[in-house]
Amino acid sequence: MDQKPHYQLFIDGEFTDGAQGQTMSSENPATGTHWATFACAAPDDVDCAISAARRALNDPAWRDMTQTQRGKLLYRLAELIEEHAEQIGRIETTDSGKLLAETAAQSAYVGDYYRYYAGLADKIEGAVLPIDKPDMHAFTQREPIGVVVAIVPWNAQMFLTATKLGPALAAGCAVVLKASEIAPAPLLEFARLIKEAGFPPGVVSVLTGDAENCAIPLTRHPDVDRIAFTGGPETARHVVRNSAENFAVTSLELGGKSPMVVFDDADLDGAANGLIAGNFGASGQSCVAGSRGLVHRPVFEKIVSLIESKMEGVTVGDPLAPDTQIGPLCTSAQIQKIEAALNAARSAGARIRFGGSRLERAGNYMAPTLVECPNTDIETLKVEMFGPVMSLIPFDTEEEAIAIANETPYGLGAGVFTQNVARAHRVSGRLKAGICWVNTYRAVSPIAPFGGFNQSGYGREAGIDVVYDYTRTKTTWINTSDAAMANPFTMR
């Protein structure tokens, strides 16, 4: 019988099974079988990782490294990621159920994120201030903010790691990366590339484990200076409370219930493709899933018909197979949550146009589902589904569409489909979302800021400015006069 892989923690430049030797098993969502084990961090491991990060900040090997040299290390990491993209993608697919076509491509693409921040590493500048006092030279400089805790979920691990680790390392910080205890294998494997790239010990550590033994000690630790968190709002509330213990600067990228608005003047075939990409891409396991489809009533049935016809030939199956288009969900708990929401939707008068049930096969497979909603009180329009469920509701006027779109506590993404340029600007400008796509959906880039409003969090990831979020400003005053400093008790 084949031996199952075992993944260790990465602390202070070494791989370890941790202080207490605790392990967990990871389940392959496509088969429902345990395929690997991984070490779980204990509070002592958290202390070790953060202590190592603090030492690294004071170690000349990292502290005195020039900004250009830091950039070169990030360039090297980008090369290694691209070289191992297929391997990491295969591990992530086995661990999370996401399609290999997506995980391998995403792993390769995040190399561009590390290159982007590699290029910014030696462009983090201060300024000479035009100070209003004679004989004074005042200037600012940006210093690393310190020890960063970066917490990422399982659903887009390499991408969500890059948006935190890239700018943090470019700024000269030391990072403790916390992988989800659900499907952590790819990030524990990624630690090998960090070591191979040549980062000094302690600059990056990679942990995983449960809330009590890992996440809570990390976010409460007195030596943590910054927390970058991606996950759900409920967990985020705990993170924010914990950060009150150390006053760590905190950014949150949380969930969403993103609207996709289709007007009757849109390219309907393109709009249908956008709705499918926004809802069934990544099997719906995306924080920016466009799971609230708002469709102009005159074209509602046409859009439904197009979606139905396009979904007829979709292959649901083994995520490692090249012809599979929708894979399993990561956990069986997701399916249970979806089933409960669909039952509530049916009871409230919603119509299931296709799908609506778990597939009778091994693994966590949910049939792609389209829900036609008579009003905004339908459960599938209100809760984050995190599965292949699209909910459509008709609207009559532009004002109604904007009102429905903004009727949510979230505000991460939004989509607008129209060929009217004036309407595109008008509507996108009024949607309460941190990201708005027009005639496309789910496009990302290291150049474009990513983040939300309201209960979708605060702070941004990616873009040129985010590197400054991992620095703090120091102001230095120099008296350039040869005269002695004046008597402080003599006021002039």
Active-site residues: which are they? 253
51: closest CA among 169, 221, 177, 282?
221
**How far is 455 from 254, CA to CA, in rounded Å?**
7
**How far is 319 from 328, CA to CA, in rounded Å?**
7
- β-pairing, 471-479 vs 136-144, is antiparallel
DSSP output for 46-61: HHHHHHHHHHHHHSHH
Q: What are the beta bridge partners of residue 435? A: 413
**How far is 226 from 150, CA to CA, in rounded Å?**
8
**How far is 33 from 248, CA to CA, in rounded Å?**
40
Q: Evaluate whether 46 touches 214 at the Cβ level (below 8 Å).
A: yes
**How far is 389 from 268, CA to CA, in rounded Å?**
20
336: Cβ contacts below 8 Å, ≥ 6 apart: none
402: Cβ contacts below 8 Å, ≥ 6 apart: 427, 430, 431
Q: Evaluate whether 416 touches 436 at the Cβ level (below 8 Å).
A: yes
H or E element, residue 477: strand 471-479
Q: Hey, what's the torsion of the CAs at 95, 89, 320, 330, to 10 degrees? A: 30
**Token code pair at residue 69:** 């040299």
**How far is 26 from 184, CA to CA, in rounded Å?**
8
Q: Mark residue 18 as left, alpha or beta (left: phi above 0; alpha: psi -120 to 50; beta: remaining).
A: left
Q: What are the beta bridge partners of residue 21? A: none
**How far is 75 from 78, CA to CA, in rounded Å?**
5
Q: What does residue 107 show for φ and ψ, rounded to 5 degrees? A: -60, -40
Give the other-Cβ count within 10 Å of 98's Cβ.
Answer: 28
Burial class (CB in 10 A: 0-12, 13-18, 19+), 51: middle
Burial class (CB in 10 A: 0-12, 13-18, 19+), 293: buried
CA distances from 21 to 16, 25, 39, 48, 380 (A): 9, 13, 7, 15, 42
